């Protein structure tokens, strides 16, 4: 009995304390990967979040921003633990971030179950776009299938007759393969799903030999993070450059390119990919983001960074639209849904499943005026494209 009284008093005390704290700050939890080799992606996201907070003077309306970064260690179980900690212990208002689809899938219920908002700055698994959609989930990236679909559409436009597919064996890898398959009209000559996770397969000799022997006209791969660099190297060493043109999704990015350039892997120049954003996009928000990032870090930001920057700006727009009243969840939700902010990719809208309806472009790897390797938009493949899973979402 005595214990129960003490506990009640303590809990009441805790509620009052957090209640006071909530009044003058917006608490944002950000979950990404900061350790393991995939930590380079998390670093890019962190840099971009810091830059966004810098640009807004660390204020949303008249509330200070309190940011808490957490490292998921590239593991779904750790990601969920860290998310639980952010929600229960830190009592944040928003949880953002998430590079990996399997980490997001494991962590989502912890956030939405506590009636907090979750802003995905990268992962967009089909499940969350479809059956598992939730009113408190918003994405500043894309649904996994969309980017490869745009690429598949481009392959159709180019008249490519057959392709070979390689992707890692996990939630997003399957989405990325399925995305191209759903759109591409030619023949799929073969498909390899390779081992993924902390001990991911990085030697693709067997798969590249199969791809060469398959007689496919082009090669499509999805290898995010360090696997991407390794893949490009082996692609070039295998002499497939020029023989089996390379098309990628989320493989060649501003994180990999400086390293590929240092390794003189010219095979990547001219390779094509689909994406919703590119550093060369011509709008005020993007110019400010890219030039300040270049100044601070000496290289271009990646799409991971762009989406993280947008996540902060989206939250800011919602906080300001509700006059800083973080308790009014319905008003916040409505404000988030409006996407009323200057995204670095230009304006976009949200579908019923809270995934962006946006343009997808074809990008090519080129050398910029100062000799740095970067990506440039070649053409628009999809205008205002919505993902296929939206119809399965009852919202």
Residues lying near other proteins in the complex (CB under 8 A) are found at 35-37, 39-40, 43, 169, 174, 191-195, 198-200, 202-203, 205-207, 209-210, 212-213, 226, 229-230, 233-234, 236-239, 255, 259-260, 262-265
Closer CB to other proteins, 169 or 283, in the complex: 169
Tell me how many degrees the CA angle 170-174-180 measures, rounded to the nearest 5.
Answer: 150
Least Å distance, CB 259 to other proteins, is 5
219 within 8 A of 247, measured Cβ to Cβ: yes
**Considering the complex, what minimum distance in angstroms separates the CB of residue 99 from other proteins?**
14
Write down the least CB distance from residue 1 to other proteins, Å. 45
Which lies closer to other proteins via its Cβ, residue 157 or residue 205?
205
**DSSP letter for each residue of 122-182:** S---HHHHTTT--TTEEESS--TTHHHHHHHHHHHHHT--EEEEEEESSHHHHHHHHHHHH
**Residue with Cβ nearer other proteins (42 or 351):** 42
Q: Give the contacts of 320 (CB within 8 A, at least 6 positions apart).
A: 60, 61
What b/e string do you get for 1-17 counting C-beta neighbours within 10 Å, with b at 16 or more?
eeeeeeeeeeeeeeeee
> Which residue lies nearer to other proteins by CB, 40 or 86?
40
**Smallest separation (angstroms) from other proteins to the CB of 173:** 10
Of 148 and 351, which CB lies nearer to other proteins in the complex structure? 148
Least distance (Å) between residue 87 CB and other proteins:
27
Residue closer to other proteins (CB basis): 70 or 91: 70
Say if CB 38 and CB 226 are below 8 A apart: yes
Handedness of CA 260, 261, 265, 271 (dihedral sign): positive
**Is residue 293 helix, strand or coil?**
helix
Q: Which is nearer to other proteins, 159 or 371 (CB)?
A: 371
* Distance of alpha carbon 90 from alpha carbon 153, whole angstroms: 44
Nearer to other proteins, 11 or 209 (CB): 209
Residue whose CB is less far from other proteins, 88 or 195: 195
Closest CA to 16 of 115, 118, 91: 91
Q: In 201-344, which ranges are continuous DSSP H helix?
A: 205-214, 226-237, 256-262, 284-297, 303-321, 329-338
The least CB distance from residue 213 to other proteins, in Å, is 4
Burial of 288 (0-12, 13-18, 19+ CB in 10 A): middle
Q: How far is the CB of 40 from other proteins (least distance, A)?
A: 5
State the minimum distance, in angstroms, from the CB of residue 268 to other proteins: 12
Q: 119 with 140: CB under 8 angstroms?
A: yes
User: Counting every residue, how long is the chain?
Assistant: 395
Give me the least distance between CB of 35 and other proteins, in Å please.
8
Q: Report the alpha-carbon distance of residue 22 to residue 16 in Å, rounded.
A: 10
């Amino acid at each position: 009995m005595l214990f129960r009284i003490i506990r009640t008093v303590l809990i009441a005390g805790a509620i009052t304390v957090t209640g006071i704290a909530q009044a003058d700050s917006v608490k944002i939890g950000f979950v990404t990967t900061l350790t393991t080799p995939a930590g380079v992606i998390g670093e890019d996201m962190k840099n971009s979040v810091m830059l966004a907070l810098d640009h807004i003077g660390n204020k949303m309306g008249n509330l200070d921003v309190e940011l808490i970064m957490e490292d998921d260690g590239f593991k779904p179980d750790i990601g969920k633990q860290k998310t639980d900690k952010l929600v229960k212990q830190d009592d944040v208002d928003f949880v953002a971030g998430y590079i990996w689809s399997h980490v997001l899938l494991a962590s989502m219920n912890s956030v939405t179950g506590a009636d907090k908002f979750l802003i995905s700055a990268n992962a967009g698994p089909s499940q969350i776009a479809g059956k598992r959609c939730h009113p408190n989930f918003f994405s500043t990236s894309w649904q996994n299938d969309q980017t490869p679909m745009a690429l598949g559409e481009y392959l159709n436009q180019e008249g490519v007759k057959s392709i070979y597919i390689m992707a890692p064996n996990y939630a997003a890898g399957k989405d990325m393969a399925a995305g191209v398959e759903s759109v591409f009209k030619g023949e799929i000559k073969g498909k390899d799903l390779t081992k993924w996770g902390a001990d991911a397969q990085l030697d693709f000799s067997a798969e590249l030999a199969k791809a060469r022997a398959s007689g496919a006209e082009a090669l499509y791969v999805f290898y995010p993070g360090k696997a991407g660099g390794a893949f490009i190297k082996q692609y070039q060493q295998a002499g497939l450059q020029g023989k089996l043109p390379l098309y990628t999704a989320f493989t060649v990015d501003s994180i990999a390119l400086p390293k590929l350039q240092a390794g003189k892997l010219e095979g990547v120049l001219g390779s094509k990919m689909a994406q919703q954003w590119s550093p060369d996009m011509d709008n005020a928000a993007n110019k400010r983001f890219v030039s300040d990032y270049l100044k601070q870090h000496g290289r271009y930001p990646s799409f991971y960074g762009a989406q993280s920057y947008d996540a902060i700006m989206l939250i800011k727009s919602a906080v300001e639209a509700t006059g800083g009243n973080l308790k009014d969840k319905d008003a916040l939700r409505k404000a988030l849904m409006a996407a009323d902010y200057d995204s670095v990719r230009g304006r976009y809208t949200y579908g019923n499943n809270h995934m962006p309806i946006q343009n997808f472009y074809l990008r090519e790897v080129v050398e910029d005026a100062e000799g740095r390797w970067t990506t440039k938009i070649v053409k628009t493949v999809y205008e205002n494209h919505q993902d296929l899973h939206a119809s399965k979402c009852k919202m």
